[in-house]
Amino acid sequence: MGGLYFLPKNVTMKGTNYIEVLRDHMLPFWPIHQCHHFMHDGAPGHKSKIVTKFLSDNETDMLEWPGNSPNLNPIKNAWNVMKNKIQEARPSNIKNLQEELKKLWVNMDVSYFASLAQSMHKRLQMVLKTKGNMTKY
């Protein structure tokens, strides 16, 4: 479980921005959390050549994920939990939304993330069983 980072207003995530985020907000915590693999989705900024080179240069082991595979992306479950809680909080502006997200993120039970990670074997089996079609995940 890493930290949250919010892009400044009117900034979109491009490869160069993503490298800054990785360099400043992910890599420093990599050894602290004893991380061995990194996962991100197939967003163009994430898959650009400069990002791929940056990750390779920093000896980051990437998990390869098929495109459009929400069944195999457990963080989607965590975002859904947070989305439901945010709807209850009903933040009235961007600043309040960011503060609510930060509170939710730091208060999420670490064991919840462990259970999501441990569910990957079942997720993979289910996707194979359904031949790539939707699963309960």
For the segment 43-56, what is each residue's pLDDT rounded down to a tens digit? 888 889 999 999 99
Contact 65, 72 (CB under 8 A): yes
Does residue 36 sit in helix, strand or coil?
coil
Q: Report whether pLDDT(69) > 80.
A: no
Q: Which residues make beta-bridge pairs with 38?
A: 62
CA dist list (Å): 86 to 5, 92, 105, 109, 134: 17, 11, 11, 16, 26
CA distance 14 to 9: 14
Q: Rounded to the nearest 5°, which phi and psi values hold at 115?
A: -65, -35
Q: Can you give the pLDDT at residue 51?
A: 94
CA R_g for the chain: 16
Per-residue pLDDT band at 73 (split at 50, 70, 90): confident
Unique residue bearing structure tokens 């600043």: 95
